[in-house]
Amino acid sequence: MELRLPTRGGVQLGELALKFRAVVNMQVLNEAVGAMMYHTITLTREDLEKFKALRVIVRIGSGYDNVDIKAAGELGIAVCNIPSAAVEETADSTICHILNLYRRNTWLYQALREGTRVQSVEQIREVASGAARIRGETLGLIGFGRTGQAVAVRAKAFGFSVIFYDPYLQDGIERSLGVQRVYTLQDLLYQSDCVSLHCNLNEHNHHLINDFTIKQMRQGAFLVNAARGGLVDEKALAQALKEGRIRGAALDVHESEPFSFAQGPLKDAPNLICTPHTAWYSEQASLEMREAAATEIRRAITGRIPESLRNCVNKEFFVTSAPWSVIDQQAIHPELNGATYRYPPGIVGVAPGGLPAAMEGIIPGGIPVTHNLPTVAHPSQAPSPNQPTKHGDNREHPNEQ
Give the residue-averaged pLDDT of 59-67: 94
Model confidence at 26, pLDDT cuts 50, 70, 90, reads: confident
On the question of pLDDT at 59 being above 90, the answer is yes
**pLDDT for the residue 347:** 39
Could you read off the pLDDT of 359-373 as tens digits, one per residue? 334 334 444 444 454
Give the residue-averaged pLDDT of 195-211: 96
Could you read off the pLDDT of 213-253 as tens digits, one per residue? 999 999 999 999 999 999 999 999 999 999 999 999 999 99
State the burial class of residue 203 (Cβ atoms within 10 Å of its Cβ: 0-12, 13-18, 19+). Answer: exposed
| 13 contacts 7 by C-beta, under 8 angstroms | yes
257 is catalytic: yes
C-alpha to C-alpha distance for 158 and 343, rounded to whole angstroms:
56
Model confidence at 348, pLDDT cuts 50, 70, 90, reads: very low
Worst-scoring range by mean pLDDT, 77-91, 157-171, 305-319, 358-372? 358-372
**pLDDT for the residue 27:** 84
39 is catalytic: no
Mean pLDDT computed over every residue of the chain? 82
Give the residue-averaged pLDDT of 162-167: 98
On the question of pLDDT at 400 being above 90, the answer is no
On the question of pLDDT at 106 being above 50, the answer is yes
pTM tops 0.85? no
- Please give the share of the chain, as a percent, with pLDDT higher than 70: 74
| 61 contacts 280 by C-beta, under 8 angstroms | yes
198 is catalytic: no
On the question of pLDDT at 12 being above 70, the answer is no
**Catalytic pick among 146, 228, 245, 342:** 228
**pLDDT for the residue 85:** 82
**Catalytic pick among 59, 277, 342, 397:** 277
On the question of pLDDT at 394 being above 50, the answer is no
**pLDDT for the residue 14:** 55
**Catalytic pick among 15, 257, 307, 316:** 257
Worst-scoring range by mean pLDDT, 9-23, 79-93, 149-163, 319-333? 319-333
